[in-house]
Amino acid sequence: MVNIGKKEKIKLLKTMKKIRSFEEAVFKLTSQSLVQGSVHFYIGQEAIATGICHCIDKKDYVMSNHRGHGHMIARGARLEKMMAELMGRKDGYCKGKGGTMHLLDPSIGMMGANGIVGGGNPIAVGLGYACKNFEKERIVVSFFGDGALNTGAFHESLNLASVWELPILFVCENNQYAISTSVDYSTPLADLSKRAASYGIVGTNIDGNNILKVIDETKNCIKAIKKDKRPVLLVCNTYRHMGHSIHDPRTYRTKEEEKNWKKKDPILLFESKLLKEKTIDQAAIKDMQKDIDRDIEKAIGFGKKSPKPGKQELFNDIYA
């Protein structure tokens, strides 16, 4: 295991908690109709975005998916601009025109969430192509779920990335379900990383709820990408605590299954570990949460205050 300092560990815990609290706040805002439409929550998967973004460089590129709040926050996005975007306001990341599924911030290498399952991987190939040709020191991370594994775009992307030797870390966040369809039903493999073999690349399968394991393995993957000039497939097993989106009654899985996975909640696991090894104490955790809550309140206030885009905005930005 890699050595991570005390300060870094605390920072990691804070990022994970920030993602969760942000989404809990967003959930509340949906009930007040301040946030509308389909929102896909990352709750339960925080260790993956946090761990992986911890390992990559500021200049690296990240492709996200429809469940992208965690990736944005882990990458250092501004909560107030995210919140304003989710509220459809002018000061949001996309002037309110993208919403939750199209969040992006190229200034921090966040090249876009994506509303199409599997739609980000081909674009990640393009980012990798640009890195290989013109920005050799950079790599690309592409986040997608188990649902994307069986799209044609996945196959085309991994194959092309391999034959062109592109520096891409393909991260499959296996949260067990594509809306209601379980990965056991959709994919005839117990170990999803075996898919990598058919592209002649390395595939690894890890517990995505253990942030230290995520960091450890991501570092290995990045080393391999840089050394072997090949993409790597990293499968992180996890669980989506909430439904696919806010409208999902979760009739396809049992309460017991949910309960068992929640025992493996990545924040709970990491927090207990840090408490046990005395990296942090309860008082500090409380302060940390207060800090986060204050930031989120500020973000909500910013969003509420931000004006709605004028009607003319409908017709802007169609062409560059």
Partner 1 sequence: METTFSEAISQAIAEEMRLDERLTIIGEDIGAYGGYFKATKGLYEEFGPERVKDTPISEIALLGTAIGSSILGYRVIVEISYIDFMTISSEQIINQAAKMHYMSGGIVNVPIVVRTQCGAGIRNAAQHSQSLEALFSHIPGLKVVMPSTPLEAKGLLRTSIRDNNPVIFIEHKKLYKTSQDIPDKDIVIPIGKAVKKRTGDGLTLITYSYMTLVALKAAKKLKEDNGIEVEVIDLRTLLPFDKETIIDSVKNTGKVAIVHEACRSFGAAAEISAFIQEEAFDYLDAPILRICGPDTPVPYCPDLEDEYMISKEDIVEGILKNL
Positions in the binding site for partner 1 (CB under 8 A): 61, 92-98, 102, 104, 106, 111-112, 114-116, 119, 121-130, 133-135, 152-153, 156-157, 159-160, 163, 316-320
Categorise residue 237: left if φ over 0, alpha if ψ from -120 to 50, beta otherwise: beta
CA–CA separation, 293 and 275 (whole Å): 21
Among residues 185, 118, 191, which one has the least CA distance to residue 158? Answer: 118
Q: Which is nearer to partner 1, 191 or 200 (CB)?
A: 200
Q: Which is nearer to partner 1, 12 or 201 (CB)?
A: 201
CA–CA separation, 236 and 209 (whole Å): 8
Q: Determine contact, residues 217/193, Cβ cutoff 8 Å.
A: no
CB of 9 to partner 1, least distance (A): 34
Strand, coil or helix: 232: strand
CB of 48 to partner 1, least distance (A): 22
Q: Give the DSSP H/E element, type plus range, for residue 142.
A: strand 140-145
Q: Which is nearer to partner 1, 256 or 319 (CB)?
A: 319
Q: Which is nearer to partner 1, 111 or 211 (CB)?
A: 111
The two three-digit tokens of residue 45, written as one number = 């998967």
CA–CA separation, 118 and 142 (whole Å): 10
CB of 153 to partner 1, least distance (A): 5
What are the start-end ranges of the H helices in the chain? 6-31, 46-55, 69-74, 79-86, 120-134, 152-163, 183-186, 211-228, 255-262, 266-276, 282-305
Q: Determine contact, residues 239/209, Cβ cutoff 8 Å.
A: yes
CB of 66 to partner 1, least distance (A): 12
CB of 195 to partner 1, least distance (A): 16
CB of 33 to partner 1, least distance (A): 22
Query: From start to end of 238-320, where are the E strands?
Result: none
Q: Determine contact, residues 236/48, Cβ cutoff 8 Å.
A: yes
Q: Which is nearer to partner 1, 283 or 320 (CB)?
A: 320
Q: Which is nearer to partner 1, 105 or 173 (CB)?
A: 105
The two three-digit tokens of residue 107, written as one number = 């200034």
CB of 118 to partner 1, least distance (A): 9
Q: Which is nearer to partner 1, 158 or 232 (CB)?
A: 158
CA–CA separation, 307 and 316 (whole Å): 17
Q: Give the DSSP H/E element, type plus range, for residue 260.
A: helix 255-262
